[in-house]
Structure 1
Amino acid sequence: MRAVSTTVRLTAAVLAAVLLAALLVAVRTAPATAATTLLSAGRPTTASSSDSSARTPAKAVDGDTATRWASRRTDAQWIRVDLGATATISRISLRWEAAYAKSYRLQVSSDTTSWKTVSTTTAGKGGVVRADVAGTGRYVRMLGVRRGTAHGYSLWEFQVYGTRTPAPAPTGVRVTGTQGKWQLTVDGKPWLVEGVTYGPPAAQAATYLPDIRRMGANTIRTWGTDASSGQVFDAARANGIRVIAGLWLDQGADYVHDTAYKTATLASIRKTVTTYRGNGGLLMWDVGNEVMLSRTEEQRIAYAKYVEQVTRAIHAVDPDHPVTSTDAWTGAWPYYRDYTPSLDLYAVNSYGGVGWVQQTWREGGYTKPYIVTETGPAGSWEVPSDANGVPRQPSDTAAAQAYTDAWAAVRAAPGVALGATMFHYGVEDDEQGVWLNLRTGGLKRLSYYAVQRAYGGPTSGNRPPVVSGITASPSTGVARGASVTITAPATDPDGDTVTYRAAVSSRWIAGGDGAMRPTPVTVTGPGRLRITAPSTPGVWKVAVYATDGHGNAGIETVTVRVR
């Protein structure tokens, strides 16, 4: 064996030392590299305010240094980013626009209620600030204390760095995703709301929820939650259905001055949420229903601020279910955007105008998704009147098509519209029930099957008779007790024998109660009936029921003016 020279041995030793040193440097710097992972990019971001729809909080985490968030011109403002999971925070970077903070705090939280300050600045000068911090949490915020200019606070970028804590298997209901790409998830799995509003008594939920499930629906919506609601939640859970649980707010309350009402209602809501937050039938909370539309500007702002107070209280008690709030028009959304930032999503009741909801959302520059909590055929407030001055009710065929079109309008906005609960799974047999119920008097209507098809339910089976138009003769100037001929020809798609009956309602007479009262019928030929005019003068609404003996009915209406 040939001897190795001293020079060769020395060179080898030096190379080994260099390699060892490089390895040690790599080992030491690996955690630092992981610790500087950008966690906030594109994450859901909320702020106490925005000074315009063009400068929303999402602009501070979009990675674009030419877009920014800007607050109102007051000192007490904040911006908060949801990292989506608990993380160890190592650095926070702020890229200020000219409107900077003189004094501010950087804080972290696990629940948006309790905050830990990880950095305090009292003599800020704007520019780009990089603060090395040490904290753990899911939420990170910049809390402005004092402005550095006469403007509000404005950030080109709000960046949070650190390492994510391995997340457990997701539980609860969440609104996830980014601008225009949201979805609702239940225990980590996507959930598109395919639902109906629920009208039967809570005690009958176990009877009706299986039928709703057979329709293909996965969600029901209620307007109020009380001591009886446990029966609804339990029946929903047993059938794989979730509940959008209403929390009723008085539509006539004075939200500016009535502090006693607001305090008592808030306490009641906390108690209700605490009672049902662990029930597996719950999907989300829906605060109030159609309170804003007819209010003054002062009352609208006060109401939106109160809904914010309620929403924060719900989140504190139940962080595992989203919160929304329903009104009768998308005109409520600007108030929610400005005064109710803690809502997880918006909601609206829209019938004849449901096709415009998506465009309204887009033009409003909103940064949260929405659901449609009531939709269906045009309501009595949206249609022209007939010759007797009564709103002209859509035919059964037109109503069924309206449900089909409404669902198509919702599905035309994927990632923004998270579903709908169509109005109405009710079994009442009054004038309004004839107009909008899917199961009037327990009978299945064409609209029931239209909703079933929309949600992918069964496409085979017996179907209701179809009435092809309805007329009354005479229809005006009818003497009390006179004979009236109703023509309402019906065909049955399954060849079933069609049986007729009729009922009348005085809803459109002053003091009328809307009840449908059965009236004797004489069938004089195919689709021809004779009834006797009521003894009270005024405009009566007549409903003709064509039934097939299999739990289905076609129902059409006409009016008669009795002199």
Structure 2
Amino acid sequence: MVGFSLAVSPLFSQSKVEIKETSPSHFELMVDGQPFFGKGVGGYNNLPMLKEMGGNCFRTWGVESLEKRIDGKPLLDYAHDLGLKVVVGIWLGHERHGFDYTDQSQLRKQRKDVEDAVRRYKDHPAVLMWGLGNEMEGPISDGSEIRIWKELNHLAKLVKDEDPDHPVMTVIAGIGGEKVKNIIKYYPEIDVLGVNAYASAPGVGSGLVDQGWKKPFMLTEFGPSGHWEVGHTSWGAPIEPTSREKAASYFATQKRVIEDGQGMCLGTFAFLWSHKQETTSTWYGMFLPTGEKLGTVDAMSYAWNGEFPDNRSPKLISLSSPADQKRIKRGTTQKAKVDVEDADGDNLDIEWVVTAENTDRKTGGDAEAVPPSFPELIARNGGESVEFRAPSRSGAYRLFVYIRDGEGGAATANFPFYVE
């Protein structure tokens, strides 16, 4: 956390954010005395569209993001001009990345970094709360690392001493194992528990209650079923939902987590309001790398304000092929077809791409290399149908289809296959 340069504009005045307990274990987030329920996303791209779709906040992972300038403005200024609030993420060390929570010199440096970040940004009116760490216990941890929770409690005290006007939230990967119990015992300074969850997201609220949690929570990442939660082929390739299936999942999760939250949920953050390579190039992104929005954005618009956007993304009904999840012979010609509709009657451009299966699998969202693609293997693009050649080299591959409506909307799907 170095190189801070943002100075808060004197034209802005700080917002006061507090949590009000309206009845036992029922909470409301208050911003300058007004109720605020987080209709949020993870990421800071496409922020005007976030506002247009009915969102009101977003979260970042590290304070270096606040140095990003959009249209010549620092990120917090830009967000404030749009009327958006920010959960400012303060990245904390992960032991799987080499950080040692028993090393006093590392702890002292991290404490100073945290204090410096809070001191620099606390007076900006776009700040909603502090996101103190993200999955620093590890994505597959059972939460038994008491040293981490004790240090987080120390850090939260430092944050509150520096800034009593914004709550402190820490984000964990799911609520399994000993996490909740140990946070209750060793991290009493926490104000809001942030939970990243995917297939299990609708049950987070009741799960927390069952484990004795009595403070508010936020669902800080949700989206499609995770790549570890779906079916796999015989060679281990995860089967990705289509963009239409993902849209249904986003909408259902948003609705159910609020109902299940039993008055404890202060907001949700759909993941990811951008694109990224994680397992595939399309699994978690709500936009294509070329910028078009997917049906997941439309679904969140409807969940947030009861209306779809003026231009709906195409609806991919099905993708089918004899090669889908099959082992095929090298060099053979294969066929696939897609069934797609567009509510606006737009002319659709359909692109087919063969790629290698990702061999750079990481955990916890760490950066992955993009696998190579092979455009020369598309023998005939017939729009809704395609003929493609199986690669000449044995191994695992995928066929992707991208449907674009020319108006900023898109749909996508893929299937794995194996060349013998």
Q: TM-score, normalised by structure 1?
A: 0.64
Pick from 88, 110, 121 the counterpart of residue 276 of structure 1: 121
Q: Identify which range, 353-362 or 494-503, moves more after superposition.
A: 494-503
- Alpha-carbon distance in structure 1 between the residues aligned to 2:101 and 2:113: 19
Deviation at 1:387, TM superposition (A): 5.1
Please give the per-residue CA displacement for 1:259-296, whole angstroms capped at 9, x wherever unaligned.
Answer: 21111011011111111101111111111111225447
Deviation at 1:508, TM superposition (A): 3.5
**SS in structure 1 of the partner of residue 63 of structure 2:** coil
Pick from 454, 466, 475 the counterpart of residue 315 of structure 2: 466
**SS in structure 2 of the partner of residue 454 of structure 1:** helix
AA partner of residue 558 (structure 1) = F
Query: Which stretches of structure 1, 4 residues or longer, exceed 6 Å deviation after superposition?
Result: none
Deviation at 1:246, TM superposition (A): 0.9
Percent of aligned pairs sharing the same letter? 26
Pick from 384, 390, 394 the counterpart of residue 537 of structure 1: 394
Q: Equivalences for 1:298-337 in 2 at 5 Å?
A: 300-331=145-176, 332-337=179-184
Count of residues paired in the alignment: 386
**SS in structure 2 of the partner of residue 534 of structure 1:** coil
2:185 is aligned with 1:338: yes
**Aligned pair in 2 of structure 1 residues 414, 456: CA closer, same or farther (>3 Å)?**
farther
2:264 is aligned with 1:419: no
AA partner of residue 239 (structure 2) = R
AA partner of residue 85 (structure 2) = R
**Aligned pair in 2 of structure 1 residues 496, 185: CA closer, same or farther (>3 Å)?**
same
**Aligned pair in 2 of structure 1 residues 374, 175: CA closer, same or farther (>3 Å)?**
same
Aligned to 1:175: 19
Please give the per-residue CA displacement for 1:506-556, whole angstroms capped at 9, x wherever unaligned.
Answer: 344468833473625455656211223334431112210111111111101
Aligned to 1:72: none
- Alpha-carbon distance in structure 2 between the residues aligned to 1:295 and 1:410: 23
- Alpha-carbon distance in structure 2 between the residues aligned to 1:557 and 1:283: 38
- Alpha-carbon distance in structure 2 between the residues aligned to 1:244 and 1:320: 13
Deviation at 1:435, TM superposition (A): 1.2
Asked if the contact 1:410–1:419 (Cα under 8 Å) also holds between the matched residues in 2, the reply is: no
Please give the per-residue CA displacement for 1:294-327, whole angstroms capped at 9, x wherever unaligned.
Answer: 44766x1000001001100000111111001011
2:359 is aligned with 1:359: no
- Alpha-carbon distance in structure 2 between the residues aligned to 1:189 and 1:297: 35
Pick from 46, 53, 58 the counterpart of residue 215 of structure 1: 53
**SS in structure 1 of the partner of residue 230 of structure 2:** coil
Q: Equivalences for 1:192-271 in 2 at 5 Å?
A: 192-198=37-43, 200=45, 208-226=46-64, 228=67, 231-252=74-95, 253=98, 255-271=100-116
> Gaps spanning 5+ residues in structure 2: where?
1-13, 362-367
AA partner of residue 561 (structure 1) = Y
Q: Identify which range, 183-192 or 543-552, moves more after superposition.
A: 543-552
Asked if the contact 2:379–2:389 (Cα under 8 Å) also holds between the matched residues in 1, the reply is: no
Q: Which has the larger radius of gyration?
A: 1
CA RMSD of aligned residues (A): 2.4
Asked if the contact 2:298–2:309 (Cα under 8 Å) also holds between the matched residues in 1, the reply is: no
- Alpha-carbon distance in structure 2 between the residues aligned to 1:429 and 1:188: 41
Tell me which of the two structures has the higher relative contact order, counting C-alpha pairs closer than 8 angstroms and 6 or more residues apart. 2
Aligned to 1:513: 369
> Gaps spanning 5+ residues in structure 1: where?
1-169, 201-207
Deviation at 1:480, TM superposition (A): 4.1
AA partner of residue 424 (structure 1) = L
Asked if the contact 2:276–2:284 (Cα under 8 Å) also holds between the matched residues in 1, the reply is: no
- Alpha-carbon distance in structure 2 between the residues aligned to 1:456 and 1:552: 19
- Alpha-carbon distance in structure 2 between the residues aligned to 1:466 and 1:460: 14
**SS in structure 1 of the partner of residue 328 of structure 2:** coil
- Alpha-carbon distance in structure 2 between the residues aligned to 1:408 and 1:296: 28
- Alpha-carbon distance in structure 2 between the residues aligned to 1:328 and 1:356: 14
